[in-house]
Amino acid sequence: MQRGGAYLSLCVTSCAGVQNAFGGQGAEDANFVRLFAVFMVVCTVMYLIVSAALVIAVWRRRQATRTIEDRKHHETSAATRPALIVWTVLIAVGLVGLTIASFFTDRSNAANGSKPRLSLTVTANQWWWDVEYNSPDASKIVRTANEIHLPVGVPAQVTLKSNDVIHSFWIPNLAGKQDLIPGRVTDAQLLPRKTGLFRGQCAEFCGVQHAQMALDVTVESKADFDRWYAAQLQPGRPPANPLQLAGYRYVTTRECSSCHNISGTPAGGHVAPDLTHFASRRSIAAGALPMNRGNLYGWVADPQSQKPGNHMPTVGLAANDLHAIVAYLEALK
């Protein structure tokens, strides 16, 4: 356990912490950190008791007399029975205490989501996240992919669906995980308490690229969130120069548009991530690559070598087309 303590402190000081259950930036995760500490104290005490008893039992062996060599191997000292009763009571009290603590934490987590002020739907796909901010007003619906933005202090209700296999929605800094199951609708409640950039990741094995199915999470002030939201409501930026125009033509008339959507353009596919504000995101291909020009070239030219087995085909682009597409995509802020 001492070794464990050393590891723990080592970790806490060296972790970057964008995807860390000890982050505590969400209400539910803060509950996790508190409850985990309670459990650790009780478990450490129990472990020390067992270890001490074991060490003493082995170490004191020279004094013992109740063995076959003494023909007393069926005898047991009178202290054993009371010791057993004390031990049983100790375990029972510890477990009941922990169960009650767990129960009340669970109630508190349930209460976090009782009055949501923001509603979004996250639909999992092999191996990316489709994100939609719900609104009764159809013109206020925002659709994005592989990222969510949340205003700090605002309880959000996340409806979870899956289009193919079972996935799991997990942003450890904010809350525990929740599976997305085809044929069912589940939900998660997020109540971010601190701003910051975090990372979520699929936590249920979902096929070949399960490891590359991440989600960029931005918790920001209400004002920043509203600015972002307003920008996301805009259609995709029109091409501003001949190179971008060539890219625009390719994307909207060739392979890309059959799967991808870019609002305000003829590209209207809905089986792959929405690209309307693609360049405003932090990463490419569900967290597989950081967003930069080099990675974008690599990804568009040959997605199968970057994230083997994903559902975006390598189409074999001519160099001119590749330059044009990257230039256009980079402009989709």
Partner 1 sequence: MTPAERAKQPPAKVPRDGPKLTGPKLEEKLAETWSNPPGFIGWLSSVDHKDIGRRYVITALIFLALAGALAIVMRLQLSKPDNDLIGAARYNEIFTMHGTTMMFLFAVPVMQGMQIYLTPLMIGTRSNAFPRLNAFSYWTYLAGGCLLWVAFVLNIAPDIGWFAYPPLSGPQFGVGKRADIWAQMVTFTEIAALAAAVSLTATILKQRAPGMSLARMPIFVWATLVTSLMVIFSMPSVALASSLLLSDRLVGTHFYNPAENGDALLWQHLFWFFGHPEVYIIFLPATGFVSEIVATFSRRTIVMYPIVVMSLVATGILAFGLWVHHMFATGLPRIGYSFYTAASMSVSIPTGLQIFCWIATLWEGRPRLQVPLLYVIGFIFTFVIGGLTGVIIAAVPLDLQLHDTYFIVAHFHYVLIGGAVFPLLGAITYWYPKATGRMMSETLGKVSFWMIFLGFQLAFFPMHIAGINGMPRRVYSYPAGMGLELPNLLSSIGSMVVAVAVLLFVINMVVSLRGGLKAAPNPWGAPSLEWATSCPPPKYNFPHIPVVDSRTPLWDAGEKMSVVHGLRVEERELLLTTVMHAKPDLREPSAEPSIWPFIATLATTVMFVSSIFSPWAVVIGAMPVIIALTAWFWPKSPAPEREPVIS
Tell me which of 5, 36, 221, 241 binds partner 1, using CB under 8 A: 36
Q: How far apart are CA 98 and CA 187, in angstroms?
A: 26
Q: How many whole angstroms separate alpha carbon 133 and alpha carbon 120?
A: 4
315 near partner 1, judged by CB under 8 A: no
User: What is 40-97 written as a DSSP string?
Assistant: HHHHHHHHHHHHHHHHHHHHTGGG---SGGGT-TT---TTHHHHHHHHHHHHHHHHHH
As measured in angstroms, the least distance from the Cβ of 202 to partner 1 is 7
> Which positions ≥6 away from 158 have C-beta within 8 Å?
120, 121, 122, 169, 187, 188, 189, 190
Number of shown-chain residues binding partner 1 (CB under 8 A)? 98
47 binds partner 1 (CB under 8 A): yes
Give whichever of 59 and 138 is closer to partner 1, judged by the CB atom.
59
- Which residue from 116, 119, 143, 164 is in contact with partner 1, where contact means CB under 8 A? 164
28 forms part of the interface with partner 1 (CB under 8 A) = yes
Per-position x/- string for 102-131, each x denoting binding to partner 1 as judged by CB under 8 A, each - no binding = xx-xx--xx---------------x-----
Q: Which of residues 179-238 bind partner 1 (CB under 8 A)?
A: 179, 181-184, 186-187, 199, 201-212
- Minimum CB separation of residue 79 from partner 1 in Å reads 9
How many Cα atoms occupy the beta-carbon half-sphere of 33 within 13 Å?
Answer: 15
Contact residue for partner 1 among 154, 165, 245, 279 (CB under 8 A): 165
Which tokens sit at 169? Answer: 């929605």
Q: Does 168 bind partner 1 (CB under 8 A)?
A: yes
Structure tokens that stand for 159 in this block: 């409806």
Given its phi and psi angles, is residue 82 left (phi above 0), alpha (psi -120 to 50 degrees) or beta? alpha
Name the residue nearer to partner 1 (CB basis): 92 or 231: 92
**Nearer CB in complex with partner 1: 198/248:** 198
